[in-house]
Amino acid sequence: MSEPRIVSPRAPTSVTNDEAIAAGTLEEFEMDPVLDVGTAMWAVVFAGGIGTRFWPLSTPQRPKQLLALVNERPLIADTIARLSPLVPAERVLIVTSADIADALHEAIPEVPRANMLVEPRPLGTAAALAWGAQEVSRRAGPDTVFVALHADLAVGYPDVLRDTLRRAASLAAAEPLLVALGASPTRAETGFGYLQPSALVDPLVSRAEGGACHVDHFVEKPSATLADVLIEKGALWNTGIFVWRARVVLDELAQHTRELHHGLPKLSAGEMDAFSELVTSISIDRGLLERTTNLAVLPGDFAWDDVGTWASLRRVRELDDYGNGVMGQVHCVDSTGNVIHADGGCVVVYGISGMIVVSMAGLTFVTTQDRATELGPLLNSLPGSLRFNPGRIDPS
């Protein structure tokens, strides 16, 4: 594992109450996204990549975003549903790749086809963010507030998330800040980023009352020992959910993310192909959060987790009385703490604990939860026909 990196940073559409009431019922008005923030909020969803950690279910033809891993809906559909009605589908932009764009759109037909931003090549999330922000600015104005998030997040309380997004949008609309949503850590997780709060943004609203704080430093993927220290000092997990104005984030990217410098003028001019040729792939975390001095964190208790590996599903799925997280036709007998995914047929497990069992047509995959966190060595040892087309055994 690489050494942890510690960095010390420090035209909207308005709707009046009368107009909203005239447009629908009082109940609809109370749910309206402009109620608390005075602006029509947008969203940019990052939905690229295959998700090899969910092999054998995830493939180039059926990437992770299209899998129903947490509940009966594909992850991408779950993401769009939890944003509504705060951000309706017509104000959601999806940044993805050409090979899966059609399949994604079939899973979320409520999102207009024109809202599918198809990358000429994999750009990295910082460049994807720049494209999304530029498109929000072009369509709705440079001071429009939008939420940026990944399609592979689990949220236990969507209503609390939407309330937190409203508060974050109010803050981003009033202050030129990059607002990250933070979650209280429940374990010393080494695969997440940590945000160390400092001074309150508003001294009159304490952190205990849900007040936002400036970020003293950001640590990406610390060691377990450092994670313990950060948690003891009150650090929050970076959920990968951000709220900001289009103009503000574009200015911050121009100032701090040197990997995009040569391409941003082309992006502003609408020359997407030239932009993609001139930028270097880098993540939002490395390219922006580690470098900015303008980051704030807003805590939210919406039961967030990252859907990153098969083992993570025990934390986000509904469990049976014995701690098994199952999907499909599964029968567990004298078995505890397993993740079992039956894609098609029936799976029966007997007398096992702490295992991952994935069954699909032509292939069954079994491992421990510890080994399921990194499948690279396994995939590197498999023939390409099995790695990329699981269930189809190469006769040679």
Question: What span, in angstroms and rounded, lies between the C-alpha atoms of 345 and 368?
Answer: 21
Q: Looking at the predicted structure, is the pLDDT value of residue 298 above 90?
A: yes
- Give the span between the Cα atoms of 395 and 143, in whole angstroms: 58
Residue 295 above 90 pLDDT? yes
pLDDT digits (tens, 9 = 90+) for 26-81: 333 333 444 444 458 999 999 987 778 899 998 887 889 999 999 999 999 999 99
Which helix H or strand E contains 178, and what residues bound it? Answer: strand 178-183
Give the pLDDT mean for 297-320. Answer: 95
Question: 158-213: per-residue pLDDT in tens?
Answer: 999 999 999 999 999 999 999 999 999 999 999 999 999 999 998 878 877 889 99
**pLDDT of 337-358, one tens digit each?**
999 999 988 999 999 999 999 9
* pLDDT in the model for residue 59: 84
| Residue 374, pLDDT score | 86
Mind listing the pLDDT tens digit for each residue in 73-110? Answer: 999 999 999 999 999 999 999 999 998 999 999 999 99
Tokens of 217: 């430093």
Consecutive H or E run containing 377: helix 376-381
User: Angle at CA 212, nearest 5°, toward 284 and 148?
Assistant: 30
Identify the weakest region by mean pLDDT among 47-56, 214-223, 284-293. 47-56
55: amino acid identity, one letter: W
Which pLDDT band holds residue 23 (cuts at 50, 70, 90)? very low
The answer to whether residue 117 scores a pLDDT higher than 50 is: yes
User: What's the whole-number mean pLDDT along residues 305-331?
Assistant: 95
Contacts of 168 (CB under 8 A, 6+ apart): 147, 179, 181, 212, 243, 298
Q: Which residue has the higher pLDDT, 257 or 4?
A: 257
Which sequence spans correspond to the domains of the chain? 5-306, 313-388
Instruction: Name the nearest CA neighbour of 132 among 238, 357, 284.
Output: 284
Using only the alpha carbons of the chain, give its radius of gyration. 22
pLDDT of residue 37: 44
In this structure, the dihedral spanned by the alpha carbons of residues 194, 198, 200 and 206, taken in order and rounded to 10 degrees, is: 70
Residues in the chain, overall count: 396
Bond into 56 cis (ω within 30): yes
Predicted local distance difference test score (pLDDT) of residue 392: 53
pLDDT for 390:
78
pLDDT value, residue 149: 97
- Decide which of 17 and 386 is more confident: 386
Query: For 237-260, how does the pLDDT look when each residue is reduced to its tens digit (9 = 90+)?
Result: 999 999 999 999 999 999 999 999
115 and 107 Cβ atoms separated by less than 8 Å: no
Residue 314 burial (C-beta neighbours within 10 Å; 0-12, 13-18, 19+): middle
Give the pLDDT score at 384: 81
Distance CA 345, CA 254 (A): 52
Percent of all residues in the chain with a pLDDT value above 90, rounded to a whole number? 77
In this prediction, residue 389 has a pLDDT band, given cuts at 50, 70 and 90, of confident
pTM exceeding 0.85: yes
Close Cβ partners of 142 (under 8 Å, ≥ 6 residues apart): 11, 245, 246, 247, 250
What's the CA angle centered on 327, arms 321 and 330, to 5 degrees?
70
| CA neighbours closer than 13 Å in the CB half-sphere of residue 116 | 22
Predicted local distance difference test score (pLDDT) of residue 39: 59
* CATH T-level fold of 5-306: Spore Coat Polysaccharide Biosynthesis Protein SpsA; Chain A (3.90.550)
CA–CA gap between residue 278 and residue 261 (Å, rounded): 8
Contact present, 244 and 179 (Cβ < 8 Å): yes
Could you read off the pLDDT of 256-283 as tens digits, one per residue?
999 999 999 999 999 999 999 999 999 9
